[in-house]
Structure 1
Amino acid sequence: MNETPIDNAPLPADLRDTAIGWFVRRRGENAPDHEDAFIAWHGASPLHQRAYIWAENHFAEAAIVKLSSRHGTIQPSPRPHHFYGRAAFALAATLALVIGVAGYLLVPRQVLPAAAPTIALASQAGQIRVFTLPDGSRVTLDAYSHALVHIGGRERRFTLQSGRARIAIASNSTPFVASIASGRVTSSQGILDLDFVGTYGARVALLDGHAALSAARASTAYIRPSHMLIKGQALSYSATRFDPAPAPASDVDERDWPQGWLDFRAVPLSELVARTNRYGPPVIVLDNSRLGTLRISGRFKVTDPARIAARVADVFSLAVTHRPDGIHLDEK
């Protein structure tokens, strides 16, 4: 198993142009129509992923919409609805089950490595790490994340112990079982997000492929049914009790978190700071508690706190002071 190295070789001009095109299309009115094709292109090569990160770094410095009493108020843009009513959800889940089973039967059998010991993966403060597993699957761990992996023989097992992970599951007839808290996701091929939410919650989302969510431990007296995940949908449940339900909508679009980018829609400045400080040091410090109530929207690279502090200071005309304990923001 290897951690993916960072390649600093120059990107071809045509690849940069393609990446810019994807960046623009994903923010247009018909963005959902292009998402499947983007995921396929993005996952086809590490070079494509580098190119897309390059496009974000050069073209994502979008205008920040500041929302405060001084600048007036702007309503956040409506969020797309990814969730269905119970009847429609049941129908979609049934169709997903049929398609998922058919897809599983068509997956060619590939020989896995011989039995191997369980391996621990970890990331520290400020790190987003990418690992390639022996079966070809790729795991991205967010900062402060820990996981256990066992790939070998007739097993492909992954357990997220803390933090957040994105798993690009390599195609194989041996199911890949990814566990988080009281639930587990089973897939033969797909892209998953697993995330511990708050103190006692877990969230799973299917970005591509097919997968089923079930209880991590089934009672001998009662076996809970599996929930076929629907692409674009996220389910949340208690860390101690398997009770999956559609995850609540959020004012933060986190689809690009593996690249360090988050999109915020009219959130308190305190939330932007809290999410950015996950990747410190340095951390951002608001010297005046009133600053935390200011509303802000925009696309930010949360792994670059110095850049965020500078952008926020420019938007709200704040003073920036660099001290040993962090980057301080205060009114001038």
Structure 2
Amino acid sequence: MSDEEWPGGEPPSPTDLEAAAWCSRLKEMPSDALLAEFRSWIDTSEANAEAFANAMLVAPMKPAERERIEQFLGQSFPALYRPGRKARAGSPGATIHAFPVNDHATRVKPAGSSRTGRRWATAAIAAAAMVALTVGLHPDSPLQSLFSPARAETYATGHGDIQLFTLADGSLVTLDTDSRVEVAIDRSERHALLRQGRARFIVAADPRPFTIQAGNGDVVAAEGAIDVGVDGNAQVELRLRSGSASVQARDTKDKQSESVPLTIDRPVLYAGEDFAPRVVTAPTADTRDWPDGWVEYRTIPLGELIREANRYAKRPIILDDPKLANLTAAGRFQLTETDRFVDRIAELFELRISRRADGIHLRPQ
């Protein structure tokens, strides 16, 4: 939506978009780790709690999905949409599910609950538009007629898979193994959130900015190709491949002053929860061909190389002698072809291969 089409003339804030994303993620059966992450996010600030309450107001959910979230938080949320019932024109038909509130539960109220009804309604409509971008609207929702549908999609790969996706704007996204990205595109902006793994974005030329959220940083590009990765320790790695892009902190008020331009093929690293970008002047690996499974290393411990290959292996590669992990490897390897990779490692280090039920074992001859 353009700025003029948002209530009050203001588009949704990053907090609003995060709240809508949480609604989408919690609709599935969430893991304990995800619930803990959500609890940490909603307890961080009153703004997060209010944004989530507004998102829940308009999020189309099945009763079981809504009840699961409400039970976890220990409170209920108003809902404008009830599955299986048509709302009358001009009446949102809000419903409230009653659950006992735990003594330690966070009290979450829709934004403006102490303000006038008109201002509260404006906040709710803005939240509805934001949820339309991130979660999507049910065909029977009374909000469906209020907003033109936005493109909101989740893309993911399983273990060992590398897959190419085409976005609604013509941009391309290649996802590495075990990766997940959420993309929302409307008429004024393009936004992607990398939850885990690695992705190559080939951004199509477009007047709308393309923002990629990774950890506590936002990568902004207009056109070009960029690799964005979030590892298991929440460390973010950026590698610009072509075009131009910059990264900036998500939480700073003066983002322009914090913007860090990216240089082609020069990695930038920062921790997921902090924003202290560090440029790597002499990377030890050339990863430009990772979408085809290839990586070239100047030097890498064998144990680390095996861990990288195991990210794609259907059966794990196991070094029977721990001392082997300290050997140094170098060269160009296709990590996605497990059998070929194992044969080459065995040849380079004069190792014996033993294929067993629990994996592929390597040991000295």
Q: TM-score range by the shorter chain?
A: 0.5 to 0.7
Q: What is the SS of the residue equivalent to 2:269? A: strand
Per-residue CA deviations over 1:191-230 (Å, capped at 9, x if unaligned) read: 111112451421212111111211123348x875212222
Give the CA deviation at 1:316.
2.1
Higher relative contact order (CA 8 A, sep 6+): 1
CA distance in structure 2 between the partners assigned to 1:198 and 1:247 by the alignment? 20
**Corresponding residue for 1:273?**
306
Q: Cα gap change, 1:142/1:119 in structure 2, threshold over 3 Å: closer, same or farther?
A: same
**Corresponding residue for 1:167?**
201
Contact 1:128 1:143 in 2 (8 A): yes
Give the CA deviation at 1:278.
0.5
**Corresponding residue for 1:236?**
269
In terms of Rg, which structure is larger?
2
**Corresponding residue for 2:342?**
309
CA distance in structure 2 between the partners assigned to 1:316 and 1:304 by the alignment? 18
CA distance in structure 1 between the partners assigned to 2:156 and 2:234 by the alignment? 21
CA distance in structure 1 between the partners assigned to 2:209 and 2:261 by the alignment? 15
**Corresponding residue for 2:161?**
127
CA distance in structure 1 between the partners assigned to 2:162 and 2:297 by the alignment? 20
Contact 1:125 1:143 in 2 (8 A): yes
Per-residue CA deviations over 1:150-179 (Å, capped at 9, x if unaligned) read: 122222111101111110000001111111
One-letter code aligned to 2:224: G
**Corresponding residue for 1:190?**
224
Residue 258 (1) aligns with residue 280 (2): no
Contact 1:115 1:151 in 2 (8 A): no
Per-residue CA deviations over 1:122-158 (Å, capped at 9, x if unaligned) read: 1110001110001110001111111100122222111
Residue 289 (1) aligns with residue 334 (2): no
Residue 318 (1) aligns with residue 358 (2): no
Matches within 5 A, 1:21-100: none
Residue 140 (1) aligns with residue 174 (2): yes
**Corresponding residue for 1:31?**
none
CA distance in structure 1 between the partners assigned to 2:265 and 2:251 by the alignment? 26
| Residue correspondences, number | 218
Share of identical aligned residues, percent?
Answer: 35
Give the CA deviation at 1:242.
1.4
Q: TM-score, normalised by structure 2?
A: 0.57
Residue 227 (1) aligns with residue 260 (2): yes
Give the CA deviation at 1:248.
6.1
Contact 2:151 2:168 in 1 (8 A): no
- Bigger drift between 210-219 and 322-331 goes to 210-219
One-letter code aligned to 2:274: R
Q: Which sections of structure 1, spanning at least 5 residues, go unmatched? A: 1-113
Q: TM-score, normalised by structure 1?
A: 0.62
